[in-house]
Chain A
Amino acid sequence: MTASRLGRPTMSQRRSGSSLHRFANPSRFLRLGRRLAPWFAVLATAFIGAGLYVGLFVAPPDYQQGESVRIMYVHVPAAWMALFVYTCIAASSVVSLVWRHPLADLIAKASAPVGAGFTAIALVSGSLWGQPMWGTWWVWDARLTSVLILFFLYLGHIALMNAFDDPTRGARAAAILAVVGFINIPIIKFSVDWWHTLHQPASVFRLGGPTIDISMLVPLFLMALGFTFYYLLLLMLRVRSEIVARKIRTAQLLQSAP
């Protein structure tokens, strides 16, 4: 019996009881992730595929914006995901700071680059939409500015997480940033209500219900669902990757011990 499969403690981990304890829950997560990841992949592909098809071929052009409205089908879901992923990171950070659960740090670390990616997509697609519609690539509008800040918060989170030799210190610093920065999320959401600047007001999640036609809401929600399953897939892969990295670190430390 030689190499251990992921999740089963190795001889070295049995010798050092603390590794076994620390990875107990993450190992359960690994097994769960292994089974769920393929489903997330299938669901992400299915929903994004359906969303793209409906958004590009079935949904009508806008009476004011013409075909440029189709940018909405990546711009809005990406923006929603940017907020959702940050909220997940903030929640994980609270769990990490209050209960010191090791999995919470891993979830936060794994999520940040994905959230940053969605934010970048929202910003770039927004610019590409703004130029023909507003006549400008950028304005220091309330929503655009606060989403740009969100992007910097993500980058700061990634930087802090990787800034220290001791991963625990990095995780703690990043967690504090994530929690403090969470104030930005309601600011982003309500910015279009509080400040009447350029970005259009809420047309989906608002009191009184959506003002967008159902023919456009359908592809919007299909893409949003697809993007969510995509995030969950990446979460499974990246958390597993972090767990393996920690095991490598442990094994290396043990092997270098006299």
Chain B
Amino acid sequence: MSKFLEMGGYAVYVWPAFAVAAIVMVGLLVTSLRTLRAREAVLKRLEAAEQPADDNA
């Protein structure tokens, strides 16, 4: 296990490379999802506010 983590002595280069990739890709995904959810919530509120009369339709 520790041999694996040491990456033949290159650990200080290999693991940060994978970490940067993970952070950027997960970060983008999380940000995109959060923005989407927030916007959908705003849209829902806006559409509910403009159609109170529809309840009688």
Binding site for B on A (CB under 8 A): 1-4, 6, 10-12, 56-57, 61, 66-68, 70-71, 74-75, 78, 113-114, 117-118, 120-121, 124-125, 128-129, 131-132, 230, 233-234, 237-238, 240-241, 244-245, 247-248, 251-252, 254-255
Contacts and interface: CB of A to CB of B under 8 A. Distances in A.
Contact of B36 (A3, A70, A117, A240): A240
Given A10-B50, A241-B35, 5 more contacts: A67-B14, A68-B13, A74-B18, A237-B29, A237-B33
A251 B50 contact: yes
| Interface residues of chain B: helix, strand, loop or mixed (majority) | helix
24 contacts: A2-B48, A11-B54, A12-B50, A56-B4, A68-B13, A71-B13, A74-B18, A75-B17, A118-B24, A125-B20, A128-B14, A128-B20, A129-B17, A132-B10, A132-B13, A237-B29, A238-B32, A238-B36, A241-B35, A241-B36, A248-B39, A251-B50, A254-B50, A255-B50
Nearest to B46: A251
Given A128-B16, A237-B36, A66 B28 contact: no
Interface string B44-57: 10111111001101
A254 B43 CA distance: 13
Contacts of A124: 17, 20
B51 A2 contact: yes
A62 B53 CA distance: 70
Nearest to B56: A1
B46 A255 contact: yes
Cβ-closest 3 pairs across A and B: A67-B8, A125-B17, A68-B10
Contacts of A6: 40, 43
Nearest to B25: A230
A2 to B, nearest CB: 5
B24 A3 contact: no
Contacts of B32: 234, 237-238, 241
